[in-house]
């Protein structure tokens, strides 16, 4: 009985520490208060999102280079520059070349256009809702007359050799306490805290090597 009680107390402490310290850091990693509050393309698409985050990274590379790596993401494209082994689980042919996320700008993947589709898995894709060259890309999920997801990538030029990449996610994919609990304990730590952060770091590493 004492052992079970101790485990329960430790678990509660871990959850409390995560919610109080780790979760806020994940959901706003690398951002300034101004970036978290600024209006970005796609912000008005999802009504009352129950998952929202903004993350950012400074990249020591021209914005044209960052843009080129950004628009080649996806399944059977350049990958997501993050945890490649996880992406391979959804398809052995996941990547365009070398069975891993691209380490170069691939010319034949640079012709992305509005209304194209970028796939996360062979079965799940997102629409290119908005594309402004060297500035912003908005990917969306749409079903039953409403937007379920808006995933925005926004570039800000700092100077000729530095770029600020801001990423914002808004989604409403489910309802109720059970769904919200899954969001808090699974989607946010795994998708936001691991895959999204690794993607930003992966883009940064490749762009700075390119430059």
Residue of higher predicted confidence among 20 and 47:
47
What DSSP character marks residue 109? G
Encoded tokens for 69: 């790596």
Phi, psi of 132 (to 5 degrees): -115, 110
Confidence band of 174 (pLDDT split at 50, 70, 90): confident
By three-state DSSP, how is residue 167 classified?
strand
The pTM score is 0.90
Cβ atoms 56, 164 nearer than 8 A: yes
Range of the structural domain that residue 53 is part of: 2-210
Return phi, psi of residue 196, to 5°: -70, -45
Q: Which residues is 136 bridged to in the sheet?
A: 132, 154
Distance, CA of 154 to CA of 168 (rounded, Å): 8
Average pLDDT, the chain: 91
Q: What is the pLDDT of residue 48?
A: 93
Structurally, the chain folds into a number of domains equal to 1
CATH number, domain with residue 132: 3.30.530.20
Calpha distance 108→76 (Å, rounded): 12
Lowest mean pLDDT of 31-35, 128-132, 148-152, 184-188, name the range: 184-188
Q: List C-alpha distances in Å: 108 to 23, 103, 195.
A: 38, 14, 25
Q: How confident is the model at residue 118 (pLDDT cuts 50, 70, 90)?
A: very high
Q: Helix 197-210 and helix 63-70: axis angle, to 10°?
A: 130
């Amino acid at each position: 009985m004492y052992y079970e009680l101790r485990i329960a107390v430790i678990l509660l402490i871990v959850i409390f520490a995560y919610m109080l310290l780790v979760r806020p850091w994940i959901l706003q990693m690398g951002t300034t208060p101004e970036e978290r509050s600024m209006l970005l393309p796609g912000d008005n698409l999802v009504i009352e999102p129950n998952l929202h985050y903004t993350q950012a990274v400074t990249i020591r590379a021209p914005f044209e280079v960052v843009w080129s790596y950004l628009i080649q993401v996806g399944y059977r494209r350049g990958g997501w520059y993050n945890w490649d082994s996880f992406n391979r689980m959804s398809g052995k042919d996941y990547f365009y070349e070398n069975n891993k996320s691209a380490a170069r700008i691939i010319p034949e993947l640079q012709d992305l256009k509005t209304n194209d589709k970028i796939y996360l898995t062979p079965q799940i894709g997102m629409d290119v809702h908005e594309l402004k060259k060297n500035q912003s890309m908005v990917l969306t999920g749409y079903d039953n007359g409403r937007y379920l997801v808006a995933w925005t990538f926004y570039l800000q030029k700092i100077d000729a050799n530095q770029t600020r990449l801001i990423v914002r996610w808004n989604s409403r994919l489910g309802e109720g306490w059970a769904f919200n609990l899954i969001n808090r304990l699974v989607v946010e730590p795994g998708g936001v805290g691991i895959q999204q952060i690794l993607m930003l770091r992966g883009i940064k590493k490749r762009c700075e090597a390119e430059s």
